[in-house]
Amino acid sequence: MMRARILHTMLRVGDMERSVEFYTKVLGMHVLRTLDQAVDHYSLTFLGYGEETDTAVLELTYNHGVSVYEMGSAYGHIAIGVDDCQAACTEVLAKGGDVVMLPQRLKGSDETIAFVRDPDGYHIELVEHADGEWLGERV
């Protein structure tokens, strides 16, 4: 089989500045790079918790002049590993974010999950794994 890895997930957003503020200030991501394609009427911002060479990142796409998208029924959520789901939700709320499902233990699992919603309505699942597995560490 060929060598491969996931590079990024793309979301269309209605207001790039608002979305970048949410992902950086509320969820703690870093802007990795931007690309403005004025002739083709779109702009991109790539964000993440690490470098693109090391981990999958999030690509936000703003199509100039489009401020609202219809949430399709095929979209599920983005999942982000956290070390403490309750603390993460408390921090999201303190920074003005929207927690739509408070932390709860997943039955039959050692995971605790919660859901937050970004300004465009996309759901983001916060996942706390008891042994730190999602963060690349084992405790």
Distance (Å, whole) CA 95 – CA 18: 13
Say which residue the tokens 């500045």 belong to: 17
Q: How many helices (H) and strands (E) does the chain have?
A: 2, 8
Closest by Cα among 18, 21, 23, 60 to 42? 60
Say which residue the tokens 């233990």 belong to: 105
Distance (Å, whole) CA 103 – CA 125: 10
Contacts of 111 (CB under 8 A, 6+ apart): 105, 127, 128, 129, 130
Residues identified as active-site: 125
